[in-house]
Amino acid sequence: ATRATQHVPTFNSTIFAHRGLPSRAPENTLAAFDLAADEGATWIETDVDIIADGTPIIIHDTALDRTTDHRGKLYDIATAEELAGIDAGSWFAPEFASERVITLDALVDLLNRRKLNANIEIKANEQGAERTIVLVDAIASSLARLDDEREIIISSFSQPVLMTFHARHPEYAIGVLYETAALYDDWLSVLELCGASYIHPEDAGLTRERVQAFRDAGYGVNVWTVDARDRANELLNWGATGVFTNIADQLIR
């Protein structure tokens, strides 16, 4: 599919199932995303980076240790075939032993099949202009297989990555991630430089005035990571457009 027009944010309240439903299935696996869809989620959040041969894969950490039975760094994995032998579920519970670290292509198939939209956070742990171009083009090439109705937000803490993505693939909506401590007064010019539609601030320390200022500047505001129902309601009442949450099943109900 070609995505000919710039995504126009609708700014409805959006519950992003963060890494799927990580309290009930191993994070960032097909099982976790399927479960989120079963529970009524329409948006998921996930993390992407590339392995040695440039294949985009779905994983949060730079190393495989925490979420698989394999020890070592992501960049030492040569090909997607190598990933197929790695168990990404047993660490969570024995019944998930068949879960794998999936490619972005496999995630795209799932988004199409389950009619899910996705915030795709680019981890980009390995910096450098050349590698960044490989990374963003590989991600865009996978996303080209999405059905036209599917919505995507590309986010990152890395502003160079977002600027490169926006310059090369301007048809995708961009969200700029901020930790509270890094949120200085230059956020408006950063959002403009990145071609962003959204700002994704950290929940800690976020105030009604901040949320209002982001909205008044015309941006959608999706807050991470909000695991308490009262706080999610408060943020959405302040005008936040969405929350990333590990308890999407409870917030949707």
C-alpha–C-alpha distance, residues 124 and 184, integer Å: 22
Write out the binding residues for ligand G3P, residues 61-120 only, by CB under 6 A.
none
Which member of 3, 26, 41, 45 binds ligand G3P (CB under 6 A)? Answer: 45
Write out the binding residues for ligand G3P, residues 178-237 only, by CB under 6 A.
200, 224-225
Quick note: the x/- pattern for Ca ion over 22-61, rule CB under 5 A, is: -------------------------x--------------
Greatest extent of the chain over all pairs of C-alpha atoms, in Å = 49
Which member of 173, 244, 248, 249 binds ligand G3P (CB under 6 A)? Answer: 244
C-alpha–C-alpha distance, residues 189 and 177, integer Å: 14
State yes or no: residue 60 binds ligand G3P (CB under 6 A).
yes
Query: CA Rg, the chain, in Å?
Result: 17
Sign of CA dihedral 57, 171, 220, 36: negative
Residue 236 in contact with residue 222, Cβ under 8 Å?
Answer: no
C-alpha–C-alpha distance, residues 79 and 188, integer Å: 39
Tell me how far, at minimum, the Cβ of 248 lies from ligand G3P, in Å: 13
Tell me how far, at minimum, the Cβ of 2 lies from ligand G3P, in Å: 27
State yes or no: residue 121 binds ligand G3P (CB under 6 A).
yes
- Residues forming the site for Ca ion (CB under 5 A): 47, 121
